Chain A
């Protein structure tokens, strides 16, 4: 069975300071991992994905994440937060038990950016 744990439900940072959103996963297979962002009253947009290529993944809007198999982590980072980054972020794991591919979302982290 697969699972995802987002370690913080809320994160608050000042504009211009680094962002760290933490995600741990569990999977019996070789998982694909994703980060999605949801702005208020909007749908979801892909930030970045890991699919067994480079362990450091770069995404849109300056975000990146590092896949660490030994720590089963896939933390999302950004060097300098902007006001427009305020949103909810979801870590997602996907694997293929028995050939059927399931998707599991974390419970989300709400990022607040303080001016």
Chain B
């Protein structure tokens, strides 16, 4: 089954403790991206990747890192999480570029206390 898989689905952590949210897709898509969703703000793009080893900042990259060492994986790293990073996070992938349909993961609800 074609899908984007995020882990974990739910995470509660403390301020400053490094964490990684994994994202994997099995559709051989070139384009992958991370979003955060906050009430009243919609989804905002954090980082995106056009292909392996090619990443770029979205609209809200501060406090986040990403890497794209393999085509299928695009982990999101929070080196020192803070409470303002409490949010719902979505990973998405699409073929060729974002002008094609994006496939979304089920989301990761992160709480930083």
**A residues within 8 Å of B by Cβ?**
6, 9, 32, 34, 42-46, 49, 51, 90, 94, 96, 100-108
Closest Cβ–Cβ distance, residue B38 to chain A (whole Å)? 10
> Within the assembled complex, what's the spacing in Å between the Cα atoms of A104 and B35?
10
Name the contact of A105 in the complex, choosing from B43, B105, B107 (C-beta under 8 A).
Answer: B43
User: With A43-B105, A43-B106, A44-B104 known to touch, is A103 a contact of B98 (CB < 8 Å)?
Assistant: yes
Closest Cβ–Cβ distance, residue A10 to chain B (whole Å)? 11
Q: Which residues of B contact A108 (CB under 8 A)?
A: 42
**B residues within 8 Å of A by Cβ?**
31, 33, 35, 40-45, 48, 50, 56, 58-59, 90, 92, 97-99, 101-102, 104-107
Whether B90 pairs with A44 at a CB distance below 8 angstroms is: yes
Whether B33 pairs with A103 at a CB distance below 8 angstroms is: yes
Closest Cβ–Cβ distance, residue B41 to chain A (whole Å)? 6
The total number of A-B Cβ pairs within 8 Å is 60
24 residue pairs A–B, Cβ–Cβ below 8 Å: A32-B98, A34-B102, A43-B106, A44-B43, A44-B104, A45-B104, A46-B101, A46-B102, A49-B101, A94-B97, A94-B99, A100-B56, A101-B48, A102-B58, A103-B33, A103-B45, A103-B48, A103-B98, A103-B102, A104-B45, A105-B35, A105-B42, A106-B42, A108-B42
> Within the assembled complex, what's the spacing in Å between the Cα atoms of A34 and B92?
15
Whether A9 pairs with B98 at a CB distance below 8 angstroms is: no
Whether B90 pairs with A101 at a CB distance below 8 angstroms is: no
Q: Which residues of B contact A90 (CB under 8 A)?
A: 42-43
Q: Which residues of A contact B90 (CB under 8 A)?
A: 43-44
Q: Which residues of B contact A44 (CB under 8 A)?
A: 43, 90, 92, 102, 104
> Within the assembled complex, what's the spacing in Å between the Cα atoms of A34 and B97?
14
